[in-house]
Amino acid sequence: MAKIIGGLGTSHIPAIGGAIHKGLQQDPYWKPFFDGFPPIHEWLKAQKPDVMVIFYNDHGLNFFLDKMPTFAVGAAPQYVNSDEGWGIPSLEPLRGEVDLSWQIINHLVDKEFDVTTCQELLVDHACSLPLKLFYPEGNYPVTVVPVCINTVQFPLPKAHRVYAFGRAVGEAVAAWDSSKKVAFIASGGLSHQLEGTRAGFINKDFDLKFMESLLSNPEWATQFSIHELVEKTGTQGIELLAWLAMRAALTVGDQPGVRKVHSNYHIPISNTATGLLALEKVS
Ligand code: DHB
Ligand code: FE
């Protein structure tokens, strides 16, 4: 059976792609953000995952407002990044892990999560940037399964539902007949709001409580309704649903425990409170 090694959570912001492109990692504005990543690089070098299952939200590159699946799973041999209009260069395509995609899709449907299956899928900054941050040298040594959760157009799935969904994805991976090592990625959050009268809204207290809860009480955030979470984290802060799915995916098996490898929190990058977290599954 496949081995689940852990999970990584990171914020995604198009401007990060621009900073990488311009080599600004040591610039005083960017340094506190990029300085969070070397411990993750070390962990990945030691753990050597083969596959990453990426929980993220699409922002209108592949799914637009006319067709918006609540949950979608990629089942393609390759996922291409494309111009999203942010003026940043496209990142390299991601290689798919098709066998695991179908394992996850079959298990999810069996568990009554009626997902959209995507044999073609463009991936935006939310799916492509984390890999560039985790493997800055490029030529990524992992294949991927993108798992997209709608956080952009109401109605959004409840936190409680996303937690159950993430757990079902974890079950599917744990039952995958493969000797490969799998890590989960959560891409999104933490608190931010890009538009309206609360544009620029950030909630450090809530963000830190949320990050801590993923260690001590992973279901903590499921007590809140979507509207409460938007109120606490902003209209885009609700992207934290991806982190909840990632954490839930780590609860499968006899040993639901995780240990914290590393975390970082820095305000702001663009309009966003950035979080970074690496959790290793305790076996
Ligand atoms: C920003 C944050 C996001 O999550 C996103 O998808 C786009 C932009 C920002 O802070 O600029
Ligand atoms: Fe986003």
- We report the CATH number of the domain holding residue 241 as 3.40.830.10
Catalytic (active site) residue 266 = no
Which ligand 1 atom sits nearest the alpha carbon of residue 188?
4
Is the C-beta atom of 236 inside 6 A of ligand 1? yes
Give the distance between the most distant pair of CA atoms in the chain.
51
pLDDT digits (tens, 9 = 90+) for 128-174: 999 999 999 999 999 999 999 999 999 999 999 999 999 999 999 99
Count: domains in the chain: 1
Judge whether 192 counts as a catalytic residue. Answer: yes
Model confidence over 223-263: pLDDT tens digits? Answer: 999 999 999 999 999 999 999 999 999 999 777 689 999 99
3-state secondary structure of 127: helix
C-beta of residue 148 within 8 angstroms of C-beta of residue 57: yes
Does 271 contact ligand 1 (Cβ within 6 A)? yes
Percent of the residues in the chain that have a pLDDT greater than 70, as a whole number:
99
What does the alpha-carbon distance between residue 277 and residue 263 come to, in Å, rounded to a whole number? 4
Residue-level pLDDT at 87 = 79
Q: Report cis status (omega within 30 of 0) of the bond before 77.
A: no
The stretch 108-117 carries a mean pLDDT of 98
Say if ligand 1 is within 6 A of residue 203 CB: no
The torsion angle over the Cα atoms of residues 37, 60, 270 and 56, rounded to 10 degrees, is -30
Owning domain of residue 61: 3-281
What is the pLDDT at residue 253?
Answer: 78
Identified catalytic residue from 12, 59, 107, 192? 192
Predicted pLDDT at 229 = 98
Sole residue written with tokens 């990142």: 91
CB burial string 156-187: b at 16+ within 10 A, e below: bbebebbbbbbbbbbbbbbebebebbbbbbbb
Quote the pLDDT of residue 88: 81
pLDDT grade, residue 89 (50/70/90)? confident
The mean-pLDDT minimum among 42-51, 80-89, 215-224, 264-273 falls in 80-89
Other Cβ atoms within 10 Å of 108 Cβ, number: 21
